[in-house]
Chain A
Amino acid sequence: MKYDVIIIGGGVSGCATARELSRYRVKACVLEREEDVCCGTSKANSGIVHAGHDAWPGTLMAQLNVRGNALMEPLSEELDFEFRRNGSMVVCTEEEKRGDLQKLLERGEKNGVPDLRILEREEALAMEPNLTEDTVAVLYAPTGGIVCPFGLNIALAENAYTNGVEFYFDTEVTRITRRPDGFLLETTQGEYVSDYVVNAAGVYADVFHNMVSQEKMNITPRRGEYMLLDKTVGGHVSHTIFRLPDELGKGVLVTPTVHGNLLVGPTAQNLQEKEAVNTTQEGLRTIRDRAGKSVRGIPFRQVITSFAGLRACAQTHDFIIQEAPDAPGFIDCAGIASPGLTSAPAIGEMVAEMLRTRMNLEANPEFCGRRKGILNPAKLPLEERNRLIEREPAYGQIICRCEMVTEGEIVDAVRRPLGAKSLDGVKRRTRAGMGRCQAGFCSPKTMEILARERGILMEAVTKSGGDSTLICGINKDIWQGDE
């Protein structure tokens, strides 16, 4: 199949690019290896919208972070995903490190981060009572925020899709070659041809880049492990709390999530293996040991799950967003490590603009930038909620009792464009199964809904696509045909 633009990867960078590109008349598609969008780095990260004081002035990271931060709020309204500007703090615990805090403030100002200030111990503790006893001063960034990483990624994808970008799932690119008529992409689901390729393949971006370019790229997966705590302790801190970087690196952060949990992490471990999203004993121990350096009394008894993600780190310590010098038409969107999630809206804008100028794209007159998320009945006034249940009784049936998700929401998640196909797909869209019992109660019910809505057998329902089936057979089936 022939496209003007093929985007490799349905993560947040790929989907942001797809959505911005859908503003123009262009035949574009996204090729995604997994069964859904938001399955790699984009699903397992801090969910932080960084203020922008960490990156070195002049880098793409600095520029796109600050721009992405500014875009996030209006985008969250346009695309209906969860975002909150809760403010962030960098905690300094040693008098002699004050200078470093000051430098961080100056760096932030150079990057264009608004309203940064240094708070003295008392003021900081008054705003955030669970900061460590050792707090000397903090750098306060009121523009810091938190976002639902799934919500952002899925909203971008859905909006791109409704504006004409095609999506192919379970489609892994295996080879890219340059031909006179464009790039030939061989995949596990057949061949695709395209004039332009956007390489937004996360930790695999180097693999694809190196298929077309002699200037070799190397992306190092850096594993970050996290612990997620129950909502009952979600208010342990109200700001995102970082620690002033020390010899151990940036250290682990402690933050509320947009859904009211408490998140602690990440660790930072460079790996070779690009699939190693497993948590480790060492990593989980490190989180416990280090988090206490910035926030006191973290109630680790309330951990409900732990997970790991891989940041895609380039050797240049910056994002690589450019046309490969020796492969015109092949646009890398690589090395999107932190603050990649924050920057995503700006990355999409930048890549789409690169394509627009190169391809002389015209505006898509049918483009609609607004998207409605899955209706959350809990946000409706009582009267309206009851009218909804009368019209659609499924909204009166709670399926996930921890997160209070109704059958109506799950059905919507399955039926909507680029809808959920698996338990994890439902979870990322509705939060069913993401609560304190971790799907113990709701998974059999959600599986039934998935089977019913998709017209498949229970045995075919998966946790996350592929071979991740949940049911192996029916009772006593091994004795079928017994004499």
Chain B
Amino acid sequence: MEHYEIIIIGGGPAGLAAAVGAREAGAENILILERDRELGGILNQCIHNGFGLHTFKEELTGPEYASRFIEQVEEKGIAYKLDTMVMDISGDKIVTYMNKKEGMRQIQAEAVILAMGCRERPRGALNIPGYRPAGIYSAGTAQRLVNMEGFLPGREVVILGSGDIGLIMARRMTLEGAHVQVVAELMPYSGGLKRNIVQCLDDFDIPLKLRHTVTEIHGRQRVEGVTLSEVDENGRPIAGTNKFYSCDTLLLSVGLLPENELSRELGVELSSVTSGPVVDDSLATNVEGVFACGNVLHVHDLVDYVSEEAALAGRHAAQFVKGKEEKWKGGKKKVPVIVENGVRYTVPAFINPKTMEKEVTLRFRVGAIYKNAFLSVYLDGSRVIHRKRPVMAPGEMEKVVLKKEWLLLADGLKNITVKVEEA
């Protein structure tokens, strides 16, 4: 059986950065398996700008950002296969893949990096009542059709969900000649960046209706309209607030879910909050030699952080393969990160103070909007971080950085706690 040191599942931003990171950390024999016809993943259809401010100190579009990493992969001679679907990963890291040229094949990896990304939540998950006509698209599907295939899925558009993809697609549809009537958002706040609300909606006079949802889809063959209703604080539609919008298209931008079918079958422990693997500070899952990074781990809002996280996963996978670190030989001593009061989860969820790098970045999201609150980290009873944040929102990923020296100094450390503390 063909053998690789590291096999990376997915050639999107996470997979590419993981490959580069692994190579730079000394891994020789790396293979990326990508299911689409080109590397770059979802970035290929994200043709708007705003990527790369952290990584490259300039504003790039999605395809440009991807090409920077693809070039590195090519320069470093990292192998990849396109149009190739991974069918299975076994506990002893035999990867089964399939493509047109080779059929179904099995290859052996010493380490596997999961970088499959995420998918959009479909209409069904929302239980929007009504008919099931043509013209209901998830925002990402519409994005692919418009930005890569040049097809307009509709002319009169209503968008449900004000996450960034929904906002971006409001502008994209407008700039291709469609008319976006309204963006509805169930929550009292938008899940998207302020910049996108201003530049994608306000610039084109597209109204954003907060606390609104679609309560009915009309039209038997093609969408003929939708009913929007205001909702109460529990998200339930308020009687008498229905308003009909005549349109031919409904775009749904109602959330992303890490795509962990392969991980689940492999026996990777998944978090019920993120739907992604539970990992330690080396981004290792509970299955030895299997790492995870990017949106398959937890949904990010900035690709720069995906790249950073993925490079870390690549580095640790390389170290694992070289057997450099004693920590891999069993007996890991991990300290759990406990989340309280407003913090929904952290990645990583465990830290090993002895083997951690000099610093560990904990990324997480909060569950509500907090103004002028503090982000605090406790090592058992003692507070080591108490940082004032003017505003925190569920739509924006937060982070805190823990230093190795703090953790080593905390004698017999049992728990690390991250929480929001009101002023």
Contacts and interface: CB of A to CB of B under 8 A. Distances in A.
Q: Do A and B have CB atoms closer than 8 angstroms in the complex?
A: yes
A394 B100 CA distance: 6
Contacts of A361: none
Interface string A389-424: 110011011100100100000000000000000000
Contacts of B237: 281
B98 interface: yes
Interface in B170-222: 176-177, 215-217, 220-222
Contact of A275 (B124, B135, B138, B220): B220
Given A397-B83, A476-B176, A444 B149 contact: yes
B310 to A, nearest CB: 21
Contacts of A199: none
A472 B154 contact: yes
A364 interface: no
Contact of A281 (B122, B129, B220): B129
A215 B210 CA distance: 56
A401 B35 CA distance: 9
Contacts of B408: none
Contacts of B145: 444, 471
B46 to A, nearest CB: 16
B100 A477 contact: no
B141 A440 contact: yes
A472 B153 contact: yes
A396 B103 contact: yes
B127 interface: yes
Contacts of A439: 141
A476 B172 CA distance: 11
B140 A393 contact: no
Interface string B233-261: 00001000000000011000000000000
B103 A463 contact: no
A471 B153 contact: yes
A437 interface: yes
B152 A472 contact: yes
Given A464-B221, A475-B150, A443 B141 contact: yes
Contacts of A217: none
B123 interface: yes
B56 interface: no
B273 interface: no
A382 interface: yes
B138 A476 contact: no
Given A305-B122, A443-B141, A468 B133 contact: yes
Contact of A458 (B99, B144, B151): B151
B304 to A, nearest CB: 25
Interface residues of A, number: 55
B423 interface: no
A280 B155 contact: no
Most-contacted residue by chain B among A275, A284, A389, A390 (CB, 10 A): A389
A1 interface: no
Nearest to B83: A397
B interface secondary structure, majority: mixed
A283 B152 contact: no
Number of chain B interface residues as a range: 35 or more
A471 B98 contact: no
A462 interface: yes
A110 interface: no
A102 interface: no
Contacts of B301: none
Interface in A151-182: none
Contact of B177 (A280, A304, A398, A478): A478
A239 interface: no
B135 to A, nearest CB: 8
Contacts of A462: 134
B122 A436 contact: yes
B329 interface: no
A227 B87 CA distance: 28
A468 B222 contact: yes
B100 A389 contact: yes
Contact of A398 (B98, B102, B217): B98
Interface in B142-171: 144-146, 149-155
Given A228-B124, A304-B124, A401-B35, A470 B221 contact: no
A132 interface: no
B395 to A, nearest CB: 21
Contacts of A63: none
B85 interface: yes
A407 to B, nearest CB: 8
B125 interface: yes
B264 interface: yes
A467 interface: yes
Contact of A440 (B138, B146, B215, B222): B138
Contacts of A304: 122, 124-125
B292 to A, nearest CB: 18
A440 B146 CA distance: 14
B331 to A, nearest CB: 33
B104 interface: yes
Given A281-B129, A468-B221, A475-B151, A389 B124 contact: no
B328 interface: no
A305 B216 CA distance: 15
Nearest to A386: B103
Contacts of A394: 100
A438 B124 contact: yes
A305 to B, nearest CB: 3
A374 interface: no
A459 to B, nearest CB: 8
A475 B152 contact: yes
A283 to B, nearest CB: 7
Interface in A361-403: 382, 385-386, 389-390, 393-394, 396-398, 401
B141 A444 contact: yes
A322 interface: no
Contact of A463 (B134, B144, B146, B217): B134
Interface in B77-109: 83, 85, 87, 98-104
A307 B177 contact: no
Contact of A389 (B104, B130, B140, B248): B104
Contacts of B124: 227-228, 303-306, 438
Most-contacted residue by chain B among A279, A385, A475 (CB, 10 A): A475
Contacts of A232: 264
A278 B130 contact: yes
Nearest to A285: B127
Given A284-B127, A466-B221, A474 B151 contact: yes
A463 B220 CA distance: 11
B122 A476 contact: no
A440 B225 CA distance: 21
B64 interface: no
A125 B133 CA distance: 41
B122 A307 contact: no
B120 A437 contact: yes
Contacts of B122: 304-305, 436-438, 440
Nearest to B236: A281
Nearest to A287: B127
Given A390-B103, A464-B221, 11 more contacts: A386-B103, A389-B103, A389-B104, A396-B101, A439-B141, A459-B151, A463-B133, A463-B221, A473-B151, A474-B151, A477-B177
Minimum-distance CB pairs A-B, first 8: A305-B124, A438-B122, A463-B134, A386-B103, A393-B100, A478-B177, A468-B134, A389-B103
10 contacts: A278-B217, A284-B129, A393-B100, A397-B99, A398-B85, A438-B123, A439-B141, A440-B138, A462-B134, A471-B153
Interface of B: 35, 83, 85, 87, 98-104, 119-120, 122-125, 127, 129-135, 138, 140-141, 144-146, 149-155, 176-177, 215-217, 220-222, 237, 248-249, 264
